[in-house]
Chain A
Amino acid sequence: MAPRLSQSSQKQDRGYKSKPKTVKLGTPLISTQVQKYDPLTAFSLSQSGGDELAHGGMQKSPKGKGKERDVGYLSVSSPDTDDRLWAELPVHVRKVEDVRRWFHEAFEGGPLGKLRRYRRILVLTGQAGTAKTTTVRVLGREMNFNILEWGNSGSDDNVNDTSYDSYESAFTKFETFFNRATNCRNLLPLVEMSGATSSQQSQKAQNANSRHIVLLEDLPNILHSSTQARFHATLRCLVDRPPSDPPVPVVIIISDSRPRGEAYDEHGVYSRGRNGDGEGVIDIRTVIPRDLLGGPYVTNIGFNPIAPTLLRRALQTLLSTHSSNKDGQPSKEVLDVVVESANGDIRNAIMALQFAYTIGSRDGKSRKRKKGGNIPTSMLESITRREQSLVLFHLLGKVLYNKRKGDPLSSSTSAKDAQREKMQELLMEDPPSLPFWLKEHERRASKVDVDMLYGNSPIDSSLLSLYIHQNYTQFVDGLDECDRIVECLSWVDSSGGEVWYQANPYRFHILSMGTLHALPSPVTRRNQKFIKPQFFEYLENEKEAWDSVHDTRNWLAHSANKSLDNSWRTCSWSGMEVALELGGVLKALERCHGTSRPPRTHQRFSRMEFQSEQLTSQQLTEDDVDIEEASSQMNDMYSGHARGNEEISGQWLESDEIEEF
């Protein structure tokens, strides 16, 4: 299909906003779409991001339209002031500022006017639904630039497409689009003609209007190696050219896919390098060629999951703006559930909310004020991801609370429940008593049916072991119990062979029974909270650290190549040697301002600060304070990175000046 020019509305012509703007770029557009840019609905409109990456060349416009219909009832009213707009964008202010500064530098060239040359490609990464695209669109409105977006074609477009007589590969089309978009100036008049902005507009408006960015969200199939090579070549080619006037920065949006914590994940990391099993993933490393990633032309800004407070505020604003009658509105509890279950994914949250709203309003009519807009919890749970996590919650609770026959009942149990418990216990048989040499293993009969657990478990044994591992310390009283549980974890993990079909089929049972056996009975209640495994975070960090080890190794080889005749044997550093032994030198190098610096990322493996108290772990249930703290910490970290980039580019600037003067 044709490259599509979607235009962000501008201050000047807000009046015309509802009119479709068609731009002809090479090929006639089959489907144009009206896009209204409200930060909130834009989420539903811009579904493309992660989803479309996953589904390959899914056609974009119908989907987008569908979404538009979906949100129809929340018919969009555009925010009237910019303040309002920013208030609604649920992204951390600092993050937005980072992006805004980048755009500013890309168009204006920063304080010295020279940064323009280095602000060529911006990569936005983060989980799905963290407002990456929306930030760009909103900024587009604020800073007055048009967004040229690429969409992969569906097959039907090819059929209708008569302007091409011969078949052209999808990638060639992309290339054409990309090259034209990034330096084609004759786009300008086109935009103006079709854009219904008359030529009597002021010079300023013209200027503003002439700004474009290229947004790549729906990438060509990077997983195909030759396409990847061509894509890389295209990017390199872009960077090699001096920026066109006016500059056309390129924004690439990459949604993360997270590791699932299965055995091969860790193996992938350990096989040292991107050739491990984790190859089939689109991440920044596969999209951007390695040499560019370390270079000055590419800036990477990562987006964090949206903090619950921001998310709630956004949803509330959405509700208050778009529904007039208080009746049909989902209650606060519903909102809470939605926020909590969305996991920082605003797209998901809005969809859930919309669902809740439709059901709620219907209910509201039939039952008239009896329960307000309340929805049965079960319904709500099936809408949100709550249900899933509840089952997991139950599973962990069963295993870790280790209820056995004859446990004292907690004070809160009602008499009826107590009665029922009693009856059940009567039905349970006591296990035969053990001979004296096994006395230490004698336990009262367990109330947990492991087979049942296994049947109902929503997760596999590997994930279960991670959860148990993360949480068991809260439930034990002493080290001996710790010892038994962790020994069991260790044993289960190392039992079985190297290949999946040799895996021990009883892992789940051994794991849960071993844990039950080891835990004290009864478990002391001390207000334990289930925590999410830190494992995934660690895996990601490790992967990144390995990447930077590779970068450092390359840097070693290259810097040696440049300065000496003897490139001889310098490349023989193994990754392990770099990680273990190079730390001291790297640190010293950084301090002494030499001519050639190691890649900044080396800190990922060479720096370790020991903090005696630490860790805000993410809890499995509601506890927003923690997450906020964590995310603000993350923010600090990221702004640290941004500063790092600054310094690097500063350095480049210097060398530039030497060149020029």
Chain B
Amino acid sequence: MSLWVDQYRPRTLDDLHYHKELSTRLKSLASSGDFPHMLFYGPSGAGKKTRISCTLRQLFGPGVEKLKIDQRVFLSPSKRKLEINLVQSNYHVEITPSEAGNFDRVVIQELLKEIAQTQQVDLNAKQRFKVVIINEADSLSRDAQAALRRTMEKYMSNMRIILCANSTSRLIAPIKSRCLLIRVAAPSDDDMCDVLQYVAKRVGFDLPPDAADKVVEDSSGNMRKALLILEALKMQSPNLNGPLSIAKPDWEIYCHKVADLIISEQSPSRVMEVRGKMYELLSHCIPPTVILKTVAERVVDKVDESLKADIMHWAAFYELRMRNGNKKIYHLEAWVVKVMSLYKHFFYGIDMSDFD
């Protein structure tokens, strides 16, 4: 069994459902013979990886779909063993260097050097170069980025690099300037509806427009999320007509309940209770930033207009602290306390000026 997201993923540039203009561009680039390093960026679930793989197929033909998953072992400077999963075909290699944590530089350097030094052996290959796909490029450390910058210049003759990132802000300028930037925007709601209908047709069921709209609305531009919701929905209630209730993921509901806790009472003991919940969320692998954002969104929806800006301000403030600090829980809690005290002061009509 395979998830619909994977199963019905478009495989060629022509199959792509939206951003047609981008597709033609990629197509012509791939066939021009002058293929640059590229950087795909855009929000998650917009279809970056799908576009990358379609481009690869355009470059190398169907042979690129013969994949094998390898586990490669790298040695960190302290001779510690790093296991990295590599997905590769004869023509390309895909890595997620952030899996190596702090040692991503080693992985990048070793792997790229190795690939760059081996010539393309397949004489029938359409291109003389190999492609290296680097996922989650925005979480690369500065060191790794510097190393990458060097390699990109050095081995241009038999290697191209495709970076995939959510945003370009965290990439150093030299890398950005060496790549062709490709922005992949999230699909519009109509685009998403089309895709959902297409998938429904492929699977073989009727998707009522209402249901599609609902799914789209719930997934806010994340195509992958939309398809996953649809699949879950279909599994739960095979008959999609009639009123549907889209079950949010557990963690999201949990976050909302936490928000309600914050609003319903403001006291030290409530702080304690919320802390327990935060711990629970964190231990379910929910990234602290996501927790903060989800809870904040919910809180903001429920409070008075005049508080909203301040609540978001502190959310941004403590999110930054979280990045710099070690123990996420402190910062989450600091924000919670801040919101509680804002809320409480608001109700008691106390002058708020010292909170600015």
Q: Let me know if chains A and B touch directly in the complex, using CB atoms closer than 8 Å.
A: yes
Interface residues of B in 234-277 (CB under 8 A from A): 235-236, 247-251, 253-254, 257, 266-269, 271-273, 275-277
- A275-B83, A566-B7, A581-B249 are contacts. A542–B285 as well, Cβ < 8 Å? yes
Asked if A489 and B330 sit within 8 Å, CB to CB, the answer is yes
Q: Which residues of A contact B340 (CB under 8 A)?
A: 479, 482
Q: Which among A183-191, A406-414, A591-599 touches the partner chain?
A: A591-599
Interface residues of B in 275-297 (CB under 8 A from A): 275-277, 279-287, 290
Asked if A585 and B3 sit within 8 Å, CB to CB, the answer is yes
A587 to B252, CA, bound (A): 14
A589 to B233, CA, bound (A): 11
- A538-B279, A577-B44, A608-B284 are contacts. A592–B235 as well, Cβ < 8 Å? yes
Is A607 on the interface with B (CB-CB < 8 A)? yes
Asked if B283 and A545 sit within 8 Å, CB to CB, the answer is yes
Is B303 on the interface with A (CB-CB < 8 A)? no
Minimum Cβ distance to chain B for residue A226 (Å): 9
Residue in A225, A570, A572 whose beta carbon sits within 8 Å of that of B2 in the complex: A570
Q: B277's closest neighbor in chain A, by CB?
A: A610
Asked if A572 and B249 sit within 8 Å, CB to CB, the answer is no
Asked if A560 and B6 sit within 8 Å, CB to CB, the answer is yes
Q: A477's closest neighbor in chain B, by CB?
A: B268
Minimum Cβ distance to chain A for residue B261 (Å): 8
Question: With contacts defined as CB atoms under 8 Å apart, how many contacts are there between chain A and chain B in the complex?
Answer: 240
- Convert A583-614 into 0s and 1s, putting 1 for each residue whose CB lies closer than 8 angstroms to a CB of B: 11101110110111000000011111110001
A239 to B258, CA, bound (A): 46
- A275-B99, A577-B224, A604-B284 are contacts. A584–B7 as well, Cβ < 8 Å? no
Q: Which residues of A contact B9 (CB under 8 A)?
A: 566, 568-569
Asked if A566 and B65 sit within 8 Å, CB to CB, the answer is yes
- A273-B101, A568-B53 are contacts. A589–B235 as well, Cβ < 8 Å? yes
Is B145 on the interface with A (CB-CB < 8 A)? no
Is B328 on the interface with A (CB-CB < 8 A)? yes
Is B128 on the interface with A (CB-CB < 8 A)? no
A564 to B4, CA, bound (A): 12
- Convert B98-120 into 0s and 1s, putting 1 for each residue whose CB lies closer than 8 angstroms to a CB of A: 11111100000000000000000
Asked if B330 and A469 sit within 8 Å, CB to CB, the answer is yes
Residue in A490, A494, A495, A608 whose beta carbon sits within 8 Å of that of B250 in the complex: A608
Asked if A493 and B330 sit within 8 Å, CB to CB, the answer is yes
Minimum Cβ distance to chain B for residue A378 (Å): 35
Asked if A610 and B99 sit within 8 Å, CB to CB, the answer is no
Is B329 on the interface with A (CB-CB < 8 A)? yes
Q: Which residues of A contact B251 (CB under 8 A)?
A: 580, 583, 608
Q: Which residues of B contact A479 (CB under 8 A)?
A: 266-268, 271, 337, 340-341, 344
Residue in A537, A580, A594, A615 whose beta carbon sits within 8 Å of that of B286 in the complex: A580
Query: Which size class do B's interface residues fall under?
Result: 35 or more
A581 to B257, CA, bound (A): 19
Q: Which among A43-51, A65-73, A264-272, A650-658 touches the partner chain?
A: A264-272
Q: Which residues of B contact A605 (CB under 8 A)?
A: 284-285
Residue in B65, B82, B225, B249 whose beta carbon sits within 8 Å of that of A568 in the complex: B65
Asked if B326 and A267 sit within 8 Å, CB to CB, the answer is yes
Interface residues of A in 452-481 (CB under 8 A from B): 462, 465-466, 469, 473-474, 476-480
Minimum Cβ distance to chain A for residue B87 (Å): 5
Minimum Cβ distance to chain B for residue A336 (Å): 29
Interface size on A, residues (CB 8 A): 86
Minimum Cβ distance to chain A for residue B167 (Å): 14
Asked if B135 and A608 sit within 8 Å, CB to CB, the answer is no
Is B318 on the interface with A (CB-CB < 8 A)? yes
Asked if A576 and B287 sit within 8 Å, CB to CB, the answer is yes
Asked if B269 and A473 sit within 8 Å, CB to CB, the answer is yes
Interface residues of A in 512-542 (CB under 8 A from B): 534-535, 537-539, 541-542
Q: Which residues of A contact B324 (CB under 8 A)?
A: 494-495
A144 to B87, CA, bound (A): 50
- A275-B99, A568-B53 are contacts. A494–B325 as well, Cβ < 8 Å? yes
Asked if A584 and B326 sit within 8 Å, CB to CB, the answer is no
Asked if A610 and B253 sit within 8 Å, CB to CB, the answer is yes
- Convert B197-231 into 0s and 1s, putting 1 for each residue whose CB lies closer than 8 angstroms to a CB of A: 00000000000000000000000001011001101
Minimum Cβ distance to chain A for residue B279 (Å): 4
Q: Which residues of A contact B82 (CB under 8 A)?
A: 275
Is B300 on the interface with A (CB-CB < 8 A)? no
Residue in A272, A582, A583 whose beta carbon sits within 8 Å of that of B101 in the complex: A272
Asked if A588 and B232 sit within 8 Å, CB to CB, the answer is yes
Q: Which residues of B contact A569 (CB under 8 A)?
A: 6, 9, 49-50, 53
7 shortest interchain CB distances as A-B pairs: A271-B101, A494-B325, A541-B283, A588-B235, A584-B232, A493-B325, A583-B249
- Chain B interfacial positions (CB closer than 8 Å to A): 1-3, 6-7, 9, 11, 44, 49-50, 53, 65, 67, 69, 73, 80-85, 87, 94, 96, 98-103, 135-136, 222, 224-225, 228-229, 231-232, 235-236, 247-251, 253-254, 257, 266-269, 271-273, 275-277, 279-287, 290, 318, 321-322, 324-331, 333-334, 337-338, 340-341, 344
A271-B100, A272-B98 known; 6 other A-B pairs, CB under 8 Å?
A490-B318, A494-B321, A494-B331, A568-B11, A569-B6, A572-B94
A-B contact pairs, 18 of them (CB 8 A): A225-B73, A267-B101, A271-B102, A469-B333, A486-B330, A494-B321, A542-B284, A560-B7, A571-B87, A572-B49, A574-B135, A580-B249, A580-B286, A587-B247, A604-B284, A607-B250, A614-B273, A614-B276
